[in-house]
């Protein structure tokens, strides 16, 4: 850990407002980007960010210098997002209606779509899909770890991720194909 970051953390432990503001300014943008993937809109993401940072400052004295500090902050944001999911009493649905649109994943298509567009699609994903999609594909948790965190079966985690992935592929493909179809004026 850099010496400057250590000084800021020490200041935050002592309750120094300037150090806390520095810490917030340094990590807020990146953490809000992470919260945006878990939330369904900007407002909810801001709420997650707010709650996450309150927990960061209240528990910063427990940071043991094991691993990166950014990783520790990110884990708190992830747990905050999980708590949001739990408190809204969401559950995982298995029998969603999905069109039989056979759209295999095409990397060259996805690479042409910008990050912010993909973010919008992620936010529109069903909540259960979105949570497990983020935990598995972005955060790198295994299905076993996800099942332990959420109290679900491993198979549920795998199936939810599979559906999330299919959902994303179909949306991306449709989005790209719609964009590339020649525009026909309505008759």
Partner 1 sequence: MEIKPSDAHWEKLAQNLPPDNFEKIMLDKLENIRLDPYPETWTNIEQHLPLPRPVNKKYLYYSLLFFMLSVGVIAVYFMNTQKEINKIPPFENKENIVNKDQVKTILKSNENGRSGSSTSKVKNNEILKGQKMLAFNQGDHQKHIIPTVPLEKVLVNKKEEKTETLTVDDHIKLSNAVAEIDQAPLLSSKTENLKENKIENISAGDLIPIPAITSEKNKNSINNSLVISVEPLAQKTAEKKEDENKSMITIPKKDSLAILDNLPSVSERVNVSNYSSDKPSFFSFTSFAGTTLSFSRYVAPQNSYGSFDKNIALRKELETPVPDLSAGFILNYDVSKRFSISSGLVLTNFRQEFRYDTVAPQSQLNTVQQDAKYIHQQDSITNAKVQTADIKYSFTEIPVYVTYKAFHSRKFEIDIQGGFSYAFISGINAYIINQNNVGVMVLNGPDDFPKIKGTAFITLQPMFAYKMSDDVSIGIMPTYKSSLGSIIQNQYWVQQYPYFIGLHVFLRKKF
Site for partner 1 in 73-102 (CB under 8 A): 76, 79-80, 82-83, 86-87, 89-99, 101
Using the Cα atoms of residue 108, residue 109, residue 115 and residue 121 in order, give the sign of their dihedral.
negative
Contacts to partner 1 from residues 23-52, by CB under 8 A: 24-26, 28-30, 32-34, 36-37, 40-47, 49-50
1 is a contact residue toward partner 1 (CB under 8 A): no
187 is a contact residue toward partner 1 (CB under 8 A): no
Number of residues lying near partner 1 (CB under 8 A): 101
Q: What is the dihedral of CA 132, 133, 137, 142, to 10 degrees?
A: 20
Least separation in angstroms between residue 113's CB and partner 1 is 8
CA distance 138 to 105: 17
Inter-residue contact 77 to 34 (CB < 8 Å) = yes
107 is a contact residue toward partner 1 (CB under 8 A): yes
Instruction: Mention every residue, 6+ apart, whose C-beta is less than 8 A from residue 10.
Output: 19
Binding-residue pattern over the window 121 to 160 for partner 1, x denoting contact by CB under 8 A: -xxx-xx--------xxx---------xxxxxx-xx-xx-
21: exposed, middle or buried (C-beta count within 10 Å: 0-12, 13-18, 19+)?
middle
Which residue, among 127, 109, 76, 82, has the nearest Cα to 178 in the 3D structure? 109
115 is a contact residue toward partner 1 (CB under 8 A): yes
- Alpha carbon distances (Å) from 83 to 80, 141, 148: 5, 17, 14
Identify the residue among 1, 67, 112, 144 touching partner 1 (CB under 8 A). Answer: 112
Least separation in angstroms between residue 70's CB and partner 1 is 12
Least separation in angstroms between residue 122's CB and partner 1 is 7
114 is a contact residue toward partner 1 (CB under 8 A): yes
Identify the residue among 65, 120, 142, 144 touching partner 1 (CB under 8 A). Answer: 120
Inter-residue contact 31 to 77 (CB < 8 Å) = yes
Least separation in angstroms between residue 66's CB and partner 1 is 13
């Amino acid at each position: 850990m850099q010496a400057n970051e250590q000084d800021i953390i020490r200041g935050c432990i002592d309750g120094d407002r300037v150090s806390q503001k520095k810490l917030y300014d340094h990590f807020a943008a990146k953490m809000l980007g992470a919260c945006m993937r878990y939330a369904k809109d900007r407002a909810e993401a801001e709420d997650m960010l707010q709650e996450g940072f309150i927990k960061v400052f209240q528990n910063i004295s427990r940071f043991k210098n094991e691993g990166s500090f950014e990783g520790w902050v990110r884990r708190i944001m992830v747990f905050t997002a999980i708590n949001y999911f739990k408190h809204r009493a969401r559950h995982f649905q298995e029998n969603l209606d999905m069109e039989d649109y056979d759209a295999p994943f095409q990397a060259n298509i996805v690479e042409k779509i910008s990050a912010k567009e993909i973010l919008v699609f992620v936010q529109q994903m069903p909540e259960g899909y979105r949570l497990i999609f983020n935990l598995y594909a972005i955060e790198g948790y295994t299905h076993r770890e996800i099942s332990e965190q959420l109290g679900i079966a491993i198979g549920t985690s795998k199936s939810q991720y599979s559906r999330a992935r299919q959902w994303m592929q179909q949306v991306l493909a449709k989005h790209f194909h719609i964009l590339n179809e020649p525009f026909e004026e309505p008759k």
